[in-house]
Structure 1
Amino acid sequence: MDRRHFLAAALAPLAGCANVDDAETSTSRTDTTAVDDSAFEPVPEGDWERADAPPEWERAADRRIDRHRRGDVTVAVSRDGDPVPDADVRLRLRRHAYDFSTAYNVARHWSSDPDGPYRRWVSRLFNEAVFENAYKWRQWTAPDGHQRTHGVITFLRANDVAVAGAPVVWQNHEKDVLPDEVWSAYENGDIDRLRELIDDHVRTLVGHNAGDHGVEDWVLLNEQLGFHDFTDALADAPPTRSPPLRHWFDIARDAAPDATLAVNDYDILTLDRPEHRDRYADLVTYLLGGAAPPDEVAFQSHVTTPDGSIGPAEQYARLDRFAGLGDIDLVVSEFDTPGIADETAAGDYLYRTLKTVYSHPASAGFRLWGYWDDQHWRGDAPLFRADWSKKPGYHAYVDLVFDQWFTDVRGTTDATGEFSTTADLGRYDLRVAADPETVSDVRAMTDPDGETRLRVEL
């Protein structure tokens, strides 16, 4: 979900994560028992030790985060048009404006205990999930594909987790992701039939899941740089500038006008492959020139070999390059570190990467490719071991998402009936208590520039 859709989606009650610590401000006081704490859910706790003297890359990232991920907010309380001083105020983050996401497996969901950790942790740690396999073409068209998937959408939405979809078009001949009919048309040279099948798939998968199902965030084009058999057959053009690519974005946009559409590829924020990055930039530039340009450019970010990791300065420079291509958001779509054998080093890398990416003003989301070793393509997920014990990566993630980047403040209004603070961008639970009334509401704070004023009339 990109920033264009945050306000609309946040109108429904959405889960997020909240800080367990209270932050005092210049107008606050400790005697705020009139604001009921019982309605606030407990949040994950971590055990990450931050450096006493952060390195320069981290200090620079923190400065950017202060600039781009936080804003000034004032709660103005009145009664019958007059300001109310000494009203107790609590402002607690309910959902980030930023997507903290994970891959989620439909088959594992149905085989898991309804009260078990696989289902429980997805809503405690994330505000978005993407189906790991269920939207791959072969699985989606299986006899029970729709029903099983829709049941999981219902579960996630009931637990305040937004649902994203991936991939729509993935021409991978090495994976069992495409129906036999598609390969038959390709292998038999039936280009008209191949074109018809792909067009219909884009239209029906994206269109069917919009609306009532609320799935409007899609990786539309996946791994075009490495797998392009179909576009080679459909057009006499290089893989990065093939007309069918723009056509598929046009179809998806017609099927779901409000959808967020992404192009996704690998080895951009990992490894040292400058020619590969050049080709991805060429692909993104070509798509941005179409009638229905992508909203997001996505980077898979799997670290599968010991030499796959890169430093924060290089990560930021690569993000900057793609942000400079046009009006487009940046997302990390598939992060994990099975190539880093040492768990502590893997946790450090998650910390550095997540903070670096979050600090970039064009970044809109960060997705782990799973969170538990027993449901991970390499058996080495970032957060939990097979027995659900917590890895260093869990503590790094929680320290950032549930501590450093969360606002939970209490205070009292001043003589003018106002309480002011600085807050992380997102949607908030707001409680105001002034004898004899208590008012509860959900309000958005999404502008890092200027001041957001939240007016409460008692």
Structure 2
Amino acid sequence: MSSDPDALIRQHRTADATVTVTLDGAPLAGREVVVTQRNHEFLFGCTGFEFIPLANGELGAAPDAGPDGGTGSSGEPEAARAERLAELWFDLFNFATLPFYLGQFEPERGRPDTRRLLATARWFTERGCPVKGHPLAWHSVTAEWLTELPNPDVVRAQVERIRREVTDFAGVIDMWDVINEVVIMPIFDRYDNGLTRICRELGRIPMIRTVFDAAREANPHATLLLNDFDMSAAYECLIEGVLEAGIRIDALGLQSHMHQGYWGEERTLEVLDRFSRYGLPIHFTETTIVSGHLMPPEIVDLNDYQIPQWPSTPEGEERQADEIVRHYRTLLSHPSVRAMTYWGISDGGWLGAPGGFVRVDGTPKPSYDALHSLVKGEWWLPPTTLGADERGRVRFNGFLGEYEVSAAGRSVTVRLDRPGPAALDVAL
């Protein structure tokens, strides 16, 4: 097998398409046919948290005060600033993750933020982007009211919450990180929370069965993920136990927050090889690569690194762009990876890190341009005019995804779903 990532990407991500085009039942012999790529099958994702106010019409025409509350303001209306960021987002990504942390989604019991999140999810899907909800169960960013309940009531409330969200959002959100960071959940000791208590009482695998059963029952067609940051053998043991228990997992979520430095190709492939042996699709669910100084290596819990300012630097931005390209090439070279979600398009997100593709002033960094040149350049088929042969056939090589085939003033949408040879019939 080739070790060249570009060769592997072509092998695993492209198809050699032969399209037979007919017009009113007759072969379109000798005519021009235009083939245009419309979307990737691969999910190039990013969080959509920052667009909730925009999607709900909550931003006005008042000038944006800027990150410091006044000085340094661009004077640009906040709605216009958000719309400009959204243009950058949609020109690069095709998959969104929205927040369902219980402590934010339902801080007061019985008053979930369903309306705003549903409007935001529809805002994305109407623009052609599927949406994933994150997460349905987690011991952190939890609601105080859940923690105050006795353990049996915590279980009931958690199950009811999952059934409600998965049911309410079905057809708009059909992918969920069902439970987050279970490896550490029963031993998490930073603060009291209901899920750590019941995970300790029930055990990890029964806990996973409980929440997955609730989600599966609410939407049997949903894609349900197990998600974790722990890339050690502990996560592998957990996955093996879950599968041996007969619990159906649709995809494995692997987090890769690289605040302490880029993993590198060797480590990334080693992780992929270990987790791909379960035969499940792999989603890189949370990735960040910083464009400023690296977090000190002695920090064990990334949340412990809280500093007043963490600026992006010119040299850091060049490093980030290089590492972004290398990381995405590595992921696409491995056939098990189906999705990659970057954790925030803009700087100043989680931990205030300069991990985004866009600076705090709204200007794209070199990493944005570098990734765009891959997703919409090297890995994209622009409108291409082909001449049909005597049987109305045209041939092209393209990345798996959606294409528009046009001729004689008519158009049909087709999909390339599998790598290798593909024969398609198009009736105009």
C-alpha deviation, 1:73, in angstroms: 0.9
Q: Establish whether residue 367 from structure 1 lines up as the match of residue 313 from structure 2.
A: no
Structure 2 match to 1:206? 166
Instruction: Write the distance in 2 (CA, Å) between the matches of 1:254 and 1:234.
Output: 21
Matches within 5 A, 1:42-441: 60-79=4-23, 81-105=25-49, 106-109=51-54, 110-111=58-59, 112-113=78-79, 116-131=83-98, 133=99, 135-142=100-107, 143=111, 145-172=113-140, 177-185=141-149, 190-211=150-171, 214-228=172-186, 233-234=197-198, 241-268=204-231, 277-305=232-260, 308-325=261-278, 327-338=279-290, 341=293, 342-375=316-349, 377-408=351-382, 409-433=384-408, 438-441=409-412
TM-score, structure 2 as length reference = 0.81
After superposition, the C-alpha distances for 1:237-282 in whole angstroms (9 at most, x for unaligned) are 796x4312122111111111011111111153xxxxxxxx100111
C-alpha deviation, 1:118, in angstroms: 2.5
After superposition, the C-alpha distances for 1:388-410 in whole angstroms (9 at most, x for unaligned) are 22212112211211111112322
Determine what percentage of the aligned residue pairs are the same residue. Answer: 24
Structure 1 residues 202, 412: closer, same or farther in 2, change over 3 A?
same
Instruction: Write the distance in 2 (CA, Å) between the matches of 1:340 and 1:288.
Output: 40
Instruction: Write the distance in 2 (CA, Å) between the matches of 1:289 and 1:206.
Output: 25
Instruction: Write the distance in 2 (CA, Å) between the matches of 1:279 and 1:361.
Output: 24
C-alpha deviation, 1:129, in angstroms: 0.8
Does the 8 Å contact 2:24/2:427 carry over to 1?
no
Other structure's SS at 2:136 match: coil
After superposition, the C-alpha distances for 1:40-89 in whole angstroms (9 at most, x for unaligned) are xxxxxxxxxxxxxxxx99x6111111111001112212345442222111
C-alpha deviation, 1:300, in angstroms: 1.5
Instruction: Write the distance in 2 (CA, Å) between the matches of 1:451 and 1:140.
Output: 45
Structure 1 match to 2:301? none
Other structure's SS at 2:137 match: coil
Does the 8 Å contact 2:253/2:282 carry over to 1?
yes
Does the 8 Å contact 2:185/2:195 carry over to 1?
no
Instruction: Write the distance in 2 (CA, Å) between the matches of 1:144 and 1:194.
Output: 17
> How many positions carry a matched residue from both structures?
373
TM-score, structure 1 as length reference = 0.76
Structure 2 residues not aligned, in runs of 5+? 60-77, 189-193, 294-315
Structure 1 residues 124, 452: closer, same or farther in 2, change over 3 A?
same
Structure 1 residues not aligned, in runs of 5+? 1-55, 269-276
Instruction: Write the distance in 1 (CA, Å) between the matches of 2:28 and 2:143.
Output: 65
Report the residue type matching 2:101 in the other structure.
K
Across the aligned residues of Structure 1 and Structure 2, the Cα RMSD in angstroms comes to 2.4
Report the residue type matching 1:208 in the other structure.
D
Moved over 4 A (4+): 229-232, 235-239, 374-377
C-alpha deviation, 1:419, in angstroms: 0.6
Report the residue type matching 1:90 in the other structure.
V
After superposition, the C-alpha distances for 1:112-136 in whole angstroms (9 at most, x for unaligned) are 41672123223222111111x3x11
Structure 1 residues 450, 237: closer, same or farther in 2, change over 3 A?
farther
Other structure's SS at 1:75 match: strand
Instruction: Write the distance in 2 (CA, Å) between the matches of 1:421 and 1:338.
Output: 38
Other structure's SS at 1:387 match: coil
Structure 1 residues 80, 368: closer, same or farther in 2, change over 3 A?
closer
Does the 8 Å contact 1:295/1:329 carry over to 2?
yes
Structure 1 residues 191, 352: closer, same or farther in 2, change over 3 A?
same
Instruction: Write the distance in 2 (CA, Å) between the matches of 1:232 and 1:376.
Output: 23
Instruction: Write the distance in 1 (CA, Å) between the matches of 2:136 and 2:177.
Output: 6
Instruction: Write the distance in 2 (CA, Å) between the matches of 1:218 and 1:79.
Output: 42
Does the 8 Å contact 2:256/2:286 carry over to 1?
yes
Report the residue type matching 1:266 in the other structure.
F
Instruction: Write the distance in 2 (CA, Å) between the matches of 1:370 and 1:428.
Output: 28
Instruction: Write the distance in 2 (CA, Å) between the matches of 1:251 and 1:321.
Output: 29
